[in-house]
Amino acid sequence: MQQRGEGSALQAVALMQQGKVIDLSTPLALAAARLSLQHRIPMADSIMLASACAYGATLWSQDADFEGIAGVKYVARKAAG
């Protein structure tokens, strides 16, 4: 909301409500830990990646930590200007 305004924030919330909330199970947490070590990414990032892999989803990110990782569509941020 701070960066793009209330209208954009409400649109983002509406899109998120279409998603599915999943539990962080023990197998998913262990898969995330392996991915964190393998790709040298933070644990929070690896939880997102492990979740996407477990559900056959593509993870879209502008986070450079994900660049070059299979199953991730990395899109570089545009420079502010």
pLDDT in tens, 6-41: 999 999 999 989 988 899 999 999 999 999 999 999
Residues 29, 53, 21, CA angle at the centre, nearest 5°? 65
pLDDT at residue 78 greater than cutoff 70: yes
Q: Per-residue confidence at 64, pLDDT binned at 50, 70, 90?
A: very high
pTM (2 d.p.):
0.76
pLDDT at residue 80 greater than cutoff 70: no
Residue type, 1: M
Residue 68 structure tokens:
């070059």
- What's the Cα-to-Cα distance from 36 to each of 9, 39, 47, 61, rounded to whole Å? 30, 6, 8, 16
Mean pLDDT over all residues of the chain?
A: 92
Of residues 78 and 11, which shows the higher confidence score? 11
